[in-house]
Structure 1
């Protein structure tokens, strides 16, 4: 019997004369970590990590945020914890999903409300604007600006999704991909924790996913109280807050 599906875990059994809708069984692979508001155990076999917006425009000294005077020190804090955690997760076959801004060059799928966030006076200084040269366009799909920073190694098996809103669930294939991966638990990391990370996490919680914010693997260039409020709201309303470093230690043992 052959398997019919884009992933093994969400595939049918198929022959010329019959179809089996029974999906392959997956043994549980539990792992425990300290977390808030309670200690947490989850199943690595039903887990994926979403890494949000660790891109040159947000995290590189020559990127967009730095060019407009934003201190990107905080945006670079997740780099070292992720450099340790991501390889450990891959060794346990946990899918790594890179969820990044990657806009159309013509910006036809972006409403004024999205453009206004980054260009409030309409001066063409936000998404799609050129930085220094015509081939350096802010968060444009395929550009250096939208690329993942070099410090984070990308594996050929990793999954890449472009997004066009604060939440990665709008106008993207993220939910369809998660269904084909047959995951229940999502680890959240990246920048900015109070904006795109929280927006995506909130939507995931509303869709019924188990949500874990990795506080050392996420950060924001916003004032400190924004990070504090994000951590409070996640543990109070949407899921759990844990340390990616604690998780990595438990995976590497």
Structure 2
């Protein structure tokens, strides 16, 4: 596939490509999820869902595997170091990882509503699911093994937050030798706009390439 991208045009082998969708889950994107319950406006996090719903069926139809990489912790939180737990509950008195929400779910817990893909996105039975426990999806998870077994070496990145978990996973992927492409409008963030601008700049400058879903769909076989 010929793909318009920045900083330069790409030729992508679809047989060796996968799309990694990061953290498009209820706790980050739903109006009654964890972030929203703590007062965060999650509309920007939910925004990529419509474009993803258009793009993913076309990618699947071209043989590109879809990997849902969602934050999903052990219920006992035994694998989480203190530093990770502190980031999400800095005063020790807020609603942190594993704590109950008003809706009865537990924050970012594997198998719970909190870790499930947000409504509005269709999950295909052939899609793959990997749970992560850090900003990066490569630490302490089978993500690298799954991708190696798929025989892919090019990764299309989507999801939230683009400046946090998406970027951390993309950087680790680049360091592991994958070719990485950030699909800008398939990503979102609740951070200020300058965080997105810095992320896009650094991806183009240091790690890989950026494109849009329009360019991606235009390049796919009919």
TM-score (norm 2): 0.97
Q: Does 1:223 align with 2:192?
A: yes
Q: RMSD across aligned C-alpha pairs, in angstroms?
A: 1.0
- Whose Rg is larger? 1
Q: Show the counterpart of 1:180.
A: 149
Aligned to 2:114, the other structure's residue is in SS state: coil
Match of 1:131, SS state, is coil
C-alpha distance in 2, partners of 1:252/1:80? 21
3-state secondary structure, aligned to 1:113: helix
Instruction: Identify unmatched segments of 5+ residues in structure 1.
Output: 1-30
Structure 2 residue 75 is matched with structure 1 residue 105: yes
Residue 202 of structure 1 pairs with residue 150 of structure 2: no
SS in 2 for 1:120: coil
Q: Which runs of 5+ in 2 are unaligned?
A: none
Asked if the contact 1:139/1:145 (under 8 Å) is kept, the reply is yes
Contact 2:62–2:221 under 8 Å retained in 1: no
State the Cα distance separating 1:64 from its structure 2 match: 0.7
Aligned to 2:213: 244
Stretches (4+) displaced over 6 A: none
Quote the Cα distance in structure 1 between the aligned partners of 2:152 and 2:213. Answer: 19
More strand by share: 1
1:252, distance to aligned residue in structure 2 (A)? 5.8
Q: Distance in 2 between matches of 1:42 and 1:121?
A: 46
Q: Give the Cα–Cα distance (whole angstroms) in 2 for the partners of residues 72 and 245 of structure 1.
A: 24
**Of 164, 167, 170, which aligns to 2:139?**
170
Q: What pairs up with 1:83-162 in 2 under 5 angstroms? A: 83-133=53-103, 135-162=104-131
> Which structure has greater helix proportion?
2
> Contact 2:160–2:188 at 8 Å: present in 1 too?
yes
Find the counterpart in structure 2 of residue 57 from structure 1.
27
* Residue 53 (structure 1) shift: 0.2
Structure with greater contact order relative to length (CA < 8 Å, sep ≥ 6): 2
TM-score by length of 1: 0.86
Matched, 1:190 2:159: yes
How many residues align? The count is 222
